[in-house]
Chain A
Amino acid sequence: MIKVKLFGLLRLDSGIKEIELEAGAVKDIYTELEKASDILSAKKLDACVVLVNGKSANKNTRLSDGDEVSFLSPVAGG
Chain B
Amino acid sequence: MGKDIGAKIHGTYIFYGKIKSLFIEQILLYRYNGKKAVDYMKSKYSGYMGKLVEIDLGAETVREYPWSDKERELYLGGKIMAARILCDHLTGNEKAFSEENWLVIATGPLTGTGAPSSARFNISAISPQTGILASSNCGGSFGFHLKKAGYDALIIKGRCKGRKWLEINDDEFIFHDAEALWGTKTGECHEKLAELCGKKNFGRLCIGPAGENLVKYASVISDERAAGRTGMGAVLGWKGLKAITVSGSRSVEVYDREKTAAYIKKWVAYLKEHPLTGSQLPRLGTAGLVSSMQSHSILATRNYSAGQFEDFDSVSGETLAESYNVNNSGCLGCTIRCRRNVKVDGKVVKGPELETLVLFGSNLGNSDMQSVLDLNYLADELGLDTISCANTIAWAMEASAKGIWNCGLEFGKPDGLASLLDDIAHRRGIGDELAEGSKRLSEKYGGTDFAIHSKGLELAAYEPRRAVGQGLGYAIANRGGCHINGGYAVIAEGLGLNADPQTPKAKADLTMMMQNLMEAISASGQCIFTSYAFFPKALLANPNGILTKCVNSLLPHLGWGIRIMNRFPRMLAVNLPIIHHTAILKYAVGMKMDLGRYLEIGERGYNMERLINTRFGISAENDKLPKRLTDVPQDPDDPSTRVPLEVMKRTYYKARGWDENGIPTEKTLRRLKIK
Contacts and interface: CB of A to CB of B under 8 A. Distances in A.
Interface string B487-507: 010110001101000000000
Sort chain A's interface into a size bin. 20 to 34
Contacts of B529: 77
Contacts of A5: 313
B440 to A, nearest CB: 27
A11 B354 contact: no
Contact of A76 (B280, B283, B295, B461): B280
A75 B321 contact: no
A7 B461 CA distance: 19
B91 interface: no
22 contacts: A7-B316, A9-B279, A12-B322, A17-B318, A46-B542, A47-B544, A49-B292, A58-B544, A72-B291, A72-B292, A72-B295, A74-B543, A75-B288, A75-B289, A76-B280, A76-B491, A76-B496, A77-B491, A77-B496, A78-B354, A78-B461, A78-B495
Nearest to A74: B543
B321 A76 contact: no
Interface in A1-53: 5, 7-9, 11-12, 17, 46-49, 51
A76 B495 contact: yes
Q: Is the interface of A mostly helix, strand, loop or mixed?
A: loop
Given A46-B542, A72-B295, A77-B289, 17 more contacts: A8-B284, A9-B280, A12-B322, A47-B541, A54-B308, A72-B291, A74-B496, A75-B495, A75-B496, A76-B496, A77-B286, A77-B288, A77-B529, A78-B289, A78-B353, A78-B354, A78-B488
Contact of A9 (B283, B289, B495, B532): B283
B281 interface: yes
Interface of A: 5, 7-9, 11-12, 17, 46-49, 51, 54, 58, 70, 72-78
B462 interface: yes
Kindly name the residue among A8, A46, A54, A78 whose own CB sees the greatest number of chain B CB atoms within 10 A. A78
B491 A7 contact: no
A67 B444 CA distance: 47
Interface string B527-561: 00100100100001111100000000000000000
Contacts of B338: 77
Given A54-B295, A76-B276, A11 B318 contact: yes
Contacts of A12: 283-284, 318, 321-322
Contacts of A78: 286, 289, 353-355, 460-462, 483, 488, 490, 495
B543 A76 contact: no
Interface in B291-305: 291-292, 295
A64 B498 CA distance: 27
